[in-house]
Amino acid sequence: MAGLISGIGIPVLAFAVSRLALLLIGLLARDLAFVPEEYVWVYDERTWLDIWGVWDTGWFMSVMYNGYMIAVSTNPDTLSQANWAFFPLYPMMAYAVSELTGLSGYGALLVVPNLCFLAALIWIRAEAKALYGTASANWAVVFLCVMPGTHVFSSAYSEATFLLFIVGTLAMARKGHWLMTGCMAALAVLTKNFGVLLLAPMAVYFLQRNFTQPLSARNLISEFPGSGGRGELVRFAVSLVLPCLALGSFMLFLYFRAGDFLAFATIQSAWGRSMVLPIISLFSPLGPLVGNHGFTVYLWPNVIAAWVAVALCMALLLKRQWAHASFCIPGMVLLLSAGILSIFRLVLPLAPLWMVAGSFMAARPKLSWLLLLLILPAEALLMWGWALGWPIF
């Protein structure tokens, strides 16, 4: 009973305290520094709700209310952009909540991520406890609730939903529940496109569970179909098919809607995104030091987040968490190949990074408390900017 209480109580307490603190910071920002003429996002007359909606919130609302666009926008503020870039599951979930409860569409867009984040915290604590121990699990939960950018998990964005389905996929795969794994992975893919990278840790977990000898072509052939037998192999194969079907279905829909199977990717150029070498994104701050190009201060949170995420990817390798590393490392490569913009937000759902961070924090508690004292003001500043519409993400 004590384990159950701590498994739920600690995440609930961390969630409640951190969300209340963020709410107060947002309200204070609106009260002291708000300039209505410079703020274009107004989704609710109640300030305590309105502070959580900014930037991409409008795109999610457009999918929720109007479905996907047939052609790109001609509005000067969103010229050549389209909501094809935003995957359907999060706005669909919000629409269902709105219809079932009578909440406004914007209210539902806030309810979904907050419930998903709370559920993800509970699940992450359980997974981190199984992999790293109780103290590490508690630190992982606390870190997720106070880390710079954590306010996004409670905003009208899809990061919290993606976080839940990522940790769900990894947890189910580790336990060998392959059909549930496939369903979770399919839901992740329908939330963000790089959820398809979950196929890698699924395969790693399958091999670890079913093949006892060092992995090689000869051992795979000699032990085939593995200790789980053909039944588990079939269930694993089905689990791989489900997320592929999910992505393929959305791509087919986009082809009939927009005339492009990869519209979710090609439309990114309308936001100024283009493919670059990941190493260029990591070293982008050096540009102003060696050339004549400026580097806006708003990009620095993204650069810092990118380097921290890369370091934690290396930590996963040091901890021999092969399944988690097989997801996070390709994920970081993919994210960085699209440039440094929004990396700060996009790395937030990579649950394995924060679990391994919790393990290091548990091993060095005094240093970890000092770290918290440093990052709390950073997150307070970011929440302040979020409530005022700063172009951070």
Q: Are 226 and 211 in contact (CB under 8 A)?
A: yes
255 token code pair: 């082809």
Residue 18 makes CB contacts below 8 A (sequence gap 6+) with: 145, 146, 150
- Report residue 137 as tokens: 């699990």
pLDDT at 302: 84
Distance CA 325, CA 263 (A): 29
pLDDT at 13: 95
pTM of the prediction?
A: 0.92
| Confidence (pLDDT) at 166 | 98
Cis ω before 225 (30° cut-off from 0): yes
Note the pLDDT of residue 242.
97
Question: What's the confidence (pLDDT) of residue 70?
Answer: 86
CB 113 within 8 A of CB 159: yes
In this predicted structure, what is the pLDDT of residue 375? 92
Query: Which two structure tokens, joined as six digits, stand for 254?
Result: 């986009």
Distances (CA, A) of 157 to 95, 192, 393: 14, 11, 12
Instruction: Give me the residue label for tokens 């107060």.
Output: 24
Q: Whole-angstrom Cα distance, residue 343 to residue 122? A: 25
Cα–chain center distance at 326 = 16
The single-letter code of the amino acid at 342 is S
CA-based nearest residue to 269, from 330, 339, 334, 335: 339
Dihedral pair phi/psi, residue 391, rounded to 5°? -80, 60
**How do the pLDDT tens digits run along the chain, 393 residues long?**
556 676 899 999 999 999 999 999 999 999 998 887 677 778 888 999 999 998 889 999 999 999 988 888 788 777 788 888 899 999 999 999 999 999 999 999 999 999 999 999 999 999 999 999 999 999 999 999 999 999 999 999 999 999 999 999 999 999 999 999 999 999 999 999 989 999 999 999 999 888 765 555 455 555 555 556 677 889 999 999 999 999 999 999 999 998 899 988 898 888 877 788 888 888 876 554 434 444 566 677 888 889 999 999 999 999 999 999 999 999 999 999 988 888 888 999 999 999 999 999 999 999 999 999 999 999 999 999 999 888 766
Q: Which amino acid is at 16?
A: A
d(CA 350, CA 318): 17
Give pLDDT, residue 7: 82
Q: Which two tokens stand for residue 92?
A: 């669909």
Q: Give the whole-angstrom CA distance, residue 226 versus residue 159.
A: 36
Angle 375-378-382 from CA coordinates, rounded to 5°: 140
Runs of H (alpha helix) within 52-102: 57-66, 89-101
pLDDT of residue 44: 85
Domain map (residue ranges) of the chain: 2-388
Query: What is the radius of gyration, based on Cα positions, of the chain?
Result: 21
With b for 16 or more beta-carbon neighbours within 10 A and e for fewer, the 11-47 pattern comes to beebbeebbebbbebbeebbeeeeeeeeeeeebeeee
